[in-house]
Structure formats: structure tokens, C-alpha cells
Structure 1
């Protein structure tokens, strides 16, 4: 059980570690003009020019600077004269190495899976079409995303590499191969629609701009319509998430991605007045004193099938003091069996609907839970 709860805590920390930012006004090196193609994402700007598209990614850890600037140029056209400084990427991309299953799933939404020539961490990929390609020898397994197999990457010779950046992380030999590295900082956005809007960048990269714009417009409409509907809810049940790890219980900050989702789904979050966009470490006593009467408790785990009320109480007896425990109103998401991490980043409307149904079951009596399930006895 201790190993299980460590896995739960690790997954929670990875999700909640986000930073504050306000990049729309930032400038750096070459100045980034005000964009018209991006409206929700804080870390992404997309500006059209004659002959190229300027894509600016703000540094999440220092929002006065750019993390990367890309100049997207159609591969069948000559390079424009006097291009500003930045990484030139010829589009549409035809063969890429994709580190994350999140971005692989987004490309599936766009109908661009055939442009993925290789992936990292194949063991964690759950997309059937990609697994079929791998079994047929049409997909290169580049190994661990923390240390990819250089020889396999060289053999693949991709047009570009898509990965998630980390603070002060270098890319070693991969970064010296002359292959454009697309730093997808979408996971550091603090609003659900802000993260989902990065689908527009993928659309531009893969020649699927119309598909990306149409998909995001549908997601935006569904999300905002449901949010507006839930704003009229008379009751707002109190919700908490995850479990304590060691001496600390890491809760989403009041300005975090999950806190925004809880609010938009018609829930009351005990730390909504907190100003942090990342996770906040709290003692068990602090959590219990403020949220002991929380109505709903949500837990994510790589193998939540092993979780139960009995197991929770055995792991830490004071958990049983929570109202959600006493009323058996705890829900678990088994990320080993469902596509929570693959689907929800670029389909926040699906997660919002799930949370809305959990918080207000009387308003959605026919909804079938997609990610979370009632905890076993």
C-alpha cells in the first residue's frame, strides 16, 4: 500500500506543479506582436506574417522572456527574406518524434497520427492506432523520454521533436542534432481552455489548421455553455482532492488549473482564496480543519483498483474522520485503465462534464462516468 500511495502522490505533484504567468504583454529579443489567433493561452502567441507564421512561447519560469520562438514556413515555399531570429520549422511536418502520449492523443484528434514516426515511453501509450503501428514496425520506440536512444532518433531522422519543457532542463545530444525541438509548454497553462488552445499550434505544424480551429471552437462552446449553466446552480458542494504524502498534503492552489475546473463545474473549493497557481503543501490538521466537512473527495492513482475505504483507513486512520469518507462519497480515477491524462488536457469539456455530474448528479441523471468511479468498500 505504501508504494501505491507514493505513486498517487507523485502523479498529483506532476499535475499540480504549475507557475504564475502573464505573457501577453511580454517582449524579448525579437519583439512578439499582439496575436489574434490565441485568446485563452497565456504562454502562446501566434502571429501571421507574409510568408511565415511567428509562434512565441513565453518562458513559464521567467515571463519577461521567451522560452522559444518558431518561424513556421511552408515547405514548398522559399524562405522569406529578413526573417526574424528564431527556429525555422518547415510545415507541414511529415515525420516527428513525439515524447508525450498527451500530444500523441491530440494529434489523433486532428487525424495526424500517421505523421508520428516515433514515440518515447511506448509502454505508457494507450492509443490503439499507435500500438498497431508499433506492432507492424512502423513506429520507432525511442526509449525513455528522460534519456532517448540517440541511435534510434538518428535512424528516424524526424522533421521535428515535440516534448514538454522543464525548468533548467537541457536536451543533451538531442539538442545538438539540428532537429527543431518544439517545446510544448501547454501543461503549464493554468486555465483549461488555455491549455486546450495549444491544439491550434499543432494544427499549424501538421497542416491541420482548419481541423484544429473547428475542434477548439466546439470545445470552447461546450465548455463555456456548461460553465454558464452551472453558474445558475443554487448549491455548490465542497470538494477536495488527492491524499497526503508523508507529512504534507499537496492541494491545488487557488489559482491552479484544477481549482478553476472545480469552480467552473459548480463546486466550492476550500482554498479558492489562495493565490498560488501551483500546489500548496498543507498538514493533515490544516486540511481537516478547513475541509473536514467536504462533500466530495476525488483521488487519482495509476492503480486505483487497489484503493478502497478499508485500504484508506488502514493506510491512515484519520482519513475516516472526513465527511466524504463517512458518507462514502469518494471517487477514484484509475489512470492505468482510462485515458484521463491523454484525453482531458485537450478536451477539458469532457472533464468539466464529468465533474459537473459528480457535483450535481440530480442535474445529470443519465450521465455515465468516464474517468472517476465510486471507491470500493
Structure 2
């Protein structure tokens, strides 16, 4: 984690601490009911509300949480592109399993707070660490993608297992470990059917299908539902949202500056559509680009000629390629050399904070902290607004 990321995260933790300092203990807030050290019910009362702290959602649209005394219903509206909604019944430990009807009767039942989680994406990791729940992380799909000394140290110590190296889930390893939950990266996989059959709850995390960066960040409240940290998540997200709005306000009245986002992959340029969270980040940073009016929420697949004709003269090119210099870009595709940003402009890459095995913190902390991402983008597009900005995720690519 970069120094700036660490410093800002500490301010968020301080805010959480102040909020919790004004609250009574968990036991007292649960209407006099006795809870053990883990927060489990020891004397169940059907008339007690065991969720004094309830999450409310302002920006996330792809999941919902409903409270029912001693259990919650977590619903992911689109677990992966084109999928039907999935619901999970989260039962507070110490409470009896509720009698449910309809689709919820067969929905997965998960005892919370969970004590072990297998994570399918690095985007989950800051949701865990910033809520102070690192101990529950017992598995990661690919250890090489992990950024951050704290998690990497636990991997080295054997406290966290890699279960999907080479992108193939080792079903036997997961079943043997028997985690409380395996959280997906918002895709489908044949292994999930086998894991469900073996009794492993598979919970979908599809934050990337949100159309706004703040919507993605608010999935911290989904992690809070599993870990019983609703108050912490509320304080954390409130601070992130406030910081994002403050940064956006600095660029709200300035003239838009043209940028060129995206790169090619196997001959196709993947351009963020205007309705995507990337499109909104660029607009909030005071940037413009030819496809910002497209309402799609994903990426547009374009050819180089189209991109060059409509956006090739932009003085700033924003990429995610880890190039040492623009020579690496033209080595990858010589047509990149025709872009104005390569010839006499600026190329910026979101690869400032990359770990020893290639884990990029942009794809880890950046999802939870869009305020830091936006701060970087404003400094790139409008350097006059923040001349002393310390970048968290982006770095300039030197011109060859």
C-alpha cells in the first residue's frame, strides 16, 4: 500500500473509532440479550431485534439486505452477467434456523459472523482489512495477485491458502478446508456447483457490475453483513463518499479536458462506455472523451482506426499497462506511436503500486477507495487544481 493510501485509510479508521466510541456495547444494544465474545446469542428471544446496526444502501444497486430479527436476507441481483438473482439467508450465531417458504426455503443458510472466508478476487481484500477482519481470510484464489505486506505475510506463514492457481479452482482443497463462505469474483464457474453440493456456501460478489465507483465501494456493507461489522462499514463508507464528493467538487466548474482511456487487447480497443463507473470517474475528474455519451455500463469494443480518428489527438492517454516507457507501448503495437499523447503529450498508467509478484493495488484498494482514484485523475487532467498531489495509483510513463 502506498504511503498516501495508508495515511488516508488511517483517517477512516479514526472516524470509525469515534463513531463506535459513542455506542454502548453489543450486548447492551441487543435489548439486554446476552451475547458471547464472538457476538453469538446465548439466550435466544424471538421478540428481540439482534441487528441494532442496520446497513442502508445509497449507491450500490446490485445487492440488497433485509433484516428479520435474528437473520438477514442478502440478495445479489445479478451474480454474474445475465444471471438471475441469488439470495442467501444469514443467521446470527446462536439463533435457530428460521422456517422460510418459497425460494428462501432452499436458499443457502450461512451462520454469521463468519470465521473463515475464501476470496475469489483481490477486490474483496480491502473490504476485509479495512473492517478489521483480516483473521477471517483463510484462502485466496491467486496469491501472486495479492498486494499488501499484511496479507502476503499471512500467505507466507501458511495462514492463508491459495486455492485457484492457474485460474482453476481446486475443489478438493476447498472442500477439505471447509470455509464458511467462498466468495466469487462475479463470474460463473463449473466448480461452484460441486462446492455447493459438498456443502460449501458460494456467495457472489459482483461489484464490478455497478455503474458507479461509489456503488462498487459500498459493497463493503455486503462484507459487513457477513462479519457483523455494520457500524464500522457505515462509518467507513460515509467517509469515503464524503471525500469523493469533495474531490469531485474541485473539478466541477472547470473546463473539460480531452483524454484517451483504454488500450487494445488482441487487436481490439476496449473503451469504457459513458455509463460505466470508469466513465463517471472521468467525468467527475473534469475529463471528456468521444464515447462519454454512450449509456452502456461496460466496455465498447472498437478498432484502432475508429479510436484514432475520434480520440487520437487527446493530449493525455490513461492506461493500465505496466510500461517502463512509451517504447514498450509502440513495441506492443506500433500504431500507438501515432497518438498525440505518445508523440508530445502524456501517458499515465495505473500501475504505481504493484507488488513483487505483480499484484496491482489499483485492483485491490482502488475499488474500495474511489476517492483516491478520483484524486489521482483530477491531478492528471487538471494539475493546476492539486499541484502537490501525492499519487496513490497512477504514475507517468516516461517518453522514449
* CA distance 1:241–1:135, change in 2 (3 Å): same
| Shift, 1:333, TM fit | 2.7
CA distance in 2, matches of 1:315, 1:82: 56
Structure 1 equivalent of residue 214 of structure 2:
193
Structure 1 equivalent of residue 326 of structure 2:
309
| Shift, 1:311, TM fit | 3.2
* CA distance 1:169–1:272, change in 2 (3 Å): farther
| Shift, 1:313, TM fit | 3.4
* CA distance 1:40–1:324, change in 2 (3 Å): same
* CA distance 1:296–1:169, change in 2 (3 Å): farther
| Shift, 1:245, TM fit | 3.1
Match runs of 1:33-44 below 5 Å: 37-44=56-63
Cα offsets for 1:318-347 (capped at 9, x unmatched): 433322223231112335364111111111
Structure 2 equivalent of residue 260 of structure 1:
280
CA distance in 1, matches of 2:182, 2:189: 18
Structure 2 equivalent of residue 339 of structure 1:
361
Structure 2 equivalent of residue 30 of structure 1:
none
Gaps (5+ residues) in structure 2?
1-53
CA distance in 1, matches of 2:153, 2:114: 21
| 1:297 maps to 2:317 | yes
Q: Are the equivalent residues in 1 in contact too, given 2:171–2:191 (CA < 8 A)?
A: no
CA distance in 1, matches of 2:291, 2:196: 40
Q: Are the equivalent residues in 2 in contact too, given 1:98–1:116 (CA < 8 A)?
A: yes
Gaps (5+ residues) in structure 1?
1-34
Q: Which moved more, 1:223-232 or 1:203-212?
A: 223-232
| 1:364 maps to 2:357 | no
**Secondary structure at 1:54's aligned position in 2?**
strand
| 1:329 maps to 2:350 | no
Structure 2 equivalent of residue 137 of structure 1:
158
* CA distance 1:285–1:204, change in 2 (3 Å): same
TM-score, structure 1 normalization: 0.83
**Secondary structure at 1:280's aligned position in 2?**
strand
| Shift, 1:290, TM fit | 1.1
Q: How many residues were matched structurally?
A: 337
Q: Are the equivalent residues in 2 in contact too, given 1:252–1:259 (CA < 8 A)?
A: yes
Structure 2 equivalent of residue 57 of structure 1:
76
Structure 1 equivalent of residue 10 of structure 2:
none
CA distance in 2, matches of 1:366, 1:205: 40
Aligned structure 1 segments of 4 or more residues deviating by more than 6 angstroms:
none
**Secondary structure at 1:117's aligned position in 2?**
strand
Root mean square deviation, CA, Å: 2.2
TM-score, structure 2 normalization: 0.78
| Shift, 1:129, TM fit | 1.6
Given the alignment, which residue of 85, 88, 109 partners 1:70?
88
Cα offsets for 1:258-311 (capped at 9, x unmatched): 11110011111210122322211222221111112212101112x323xx2233
**Secondary structure at 1:132's aligned position in 2?**
helix
**Secondary structure at 2:375's aligned position in 1?**
helix
Structure 2 equivalent of residue 151 of structure 1:
172
* CA distance 1:209–1:196, change in 2 (3 Å): same
Cα offsets for 1:177-220 (capped at 9, x unmatched): 11211110112112101111110010110121111111111111
